[in-house]
Amino acid sequence: MALNFYISVDLILLTNRKAKNLVELLDVIKSAPGSVIFYHTHRFLQQHHYLSPEPPNDFAYWTTNVLLERVIGEKLASVNIISYHTLTELKDKFVSILEEYLRDVKEIRDAPEGMEFHFMQSKSFILKTDYVAHNLREFYDIIKKLSIHSLYYHVFQSRLRLEKSDNDFSIWLREELCEEKLADSISRLDPYTQTLEGLRSKICSLVEVRLNDKD
């Protein structure tokens, strides 16, 4: 079956929920829907996709830079998003880090007025593009010119937000083209530690090597 390429564009919704310290942050995260967790762990990716190393997730950034709580900030920043397959699992990880830290902490520090953490959520709109790949060569040609909104959808959003087992490219390569090894290599790329352009060029190189092997 051919691979259809999609783009995803997000609208940001305000939840009117905010936190001024870690207790409140934990409280809101606990009851937050997946769309809130997705927004705050992927905002930097969408807005700062040209930066590498990119800033960490919003929870870590606020804890470190506003509350000036470096230890817990570092722990929140080190959450390896690529290792989670659902937003619920990811949320539980943030909850457990915060709960563990708050069990022992003696003093709760408040953010300066006006610098509270504002919770937001993304509403995602997914649209089909005109690009369709039927084989590895076509896949390669499309990846080279694909918009980053499309790359973002197939690598990040599809896997975590739509809770697929892997990124769309690896699933298609494995299941439709029987390119097991190439699919695994793309799965192993950690998209959270590079820019979207860097990711595109790595995927292109891997496919290029495979195309050369076949020739």
Partner 1 sequence: MIKIDDYKPIVGEEIVEELFLIGKQLRGKVVQNINSTSVGGGVAEILSRMVPLLQQLEIDARWDVIKAGEKFFTITKKVHNALHGVELEISQQELDYFLEVNNNNANSMALYGDIIFVHDPQPVALAEKKNEIGRKWIWRCHIDFSNPQEKIWHFLKSYIEKYDAAVFSAPAFARELSIPQILISPSIDPLSDKNKELSEQEIKSVFERFKIDMSRPIITQISRFDYLKDPVGVIEAYKLAKKYVDCQLVLAGGSATDDPEGEKVLNEVKEKASGDPDIFILLLPPGSDFEINALQRGSTVILQKSLREGFGLTVTEALWKEKPVIASAVGGIPLQITHKYSGILTTTIEGTAYWIKQLIQATEYALKLGKNGHEHVKNNFLITRHLMDYMLTFISLFHEKDVVHLD
Residues that bind partner 1 (CB under 8 A): 7, 9-16, 18, 33-35, 44, 47-51, 55, 61, 65-66, 112, 114-115, 118, 120-129, 147, 149, 161-162
Least distance from C-beta 57 to partner 1, angstroms? Answer: 12
Contacting residues for 181 by C-beta, under 8 A, at least 6 apart: 210
Least distance from C-beta 15 to partner 1, angstroms? Answer: 8
- If the CB atoms of residues 117 and 182 are measured against partner 1, the closer one turns out to be 117
- If the CB atoms of residues 16 and 212 are measured against partner 1, the closer one turns out to be 16
Distance from C-alpha of 20 to C-alpha of 114, rounded to nearest angstrom: 9
Distance from C-alpha of 157 to C-alpha of 124, rounded to nearest angstrom: 9
- If the CB atoms of residues 7 and 79 are measured against partner 1, the closer one turns out to be 7
Least distance from C-beta 147 to partner 1, angstroms? Answer: 4
Distance from C-alpha of 67 to C-alpha of 192, rounded to nearest angstrom: 24
- If the CB atoms of residues 61 and 84 are measured against partner 1, the closer one turns out to be 61
What's the sign of the alpha-carbon dihedral 164, 166, 170, 174? negative
Contact 65, 44 (CB under 8 A): no
Contacting residues for 7 by C-beta, under 8 A, at least 6 apart: 126, 127, 129, 147, 149, 150, 153
Least distance from C-beta 36 to partner 1, angstroms? Answer: 10
- If the CB atoms of residues 55 and 198 are measured against partner 1, the closer one turns out to be 55
Angle ∠(79,81,84) on CA atoms, nearest 5: 110
Distance from C-alpha of 106 to C-alpha of 108, rounded to nearest angstrom: 7
- If the CB atoms of residues 122 and 185 are measured against partner 1, the closer one turns out to be 122
Contacting residues for 23 by C-beta, under 8 A, at least 6 apart: 102, 108
Least distance from C-beta 134 to partner 1, angstroms? Answer: 22
Least distance from C-beta 75 to partner 1, angstroms? Answer: 20
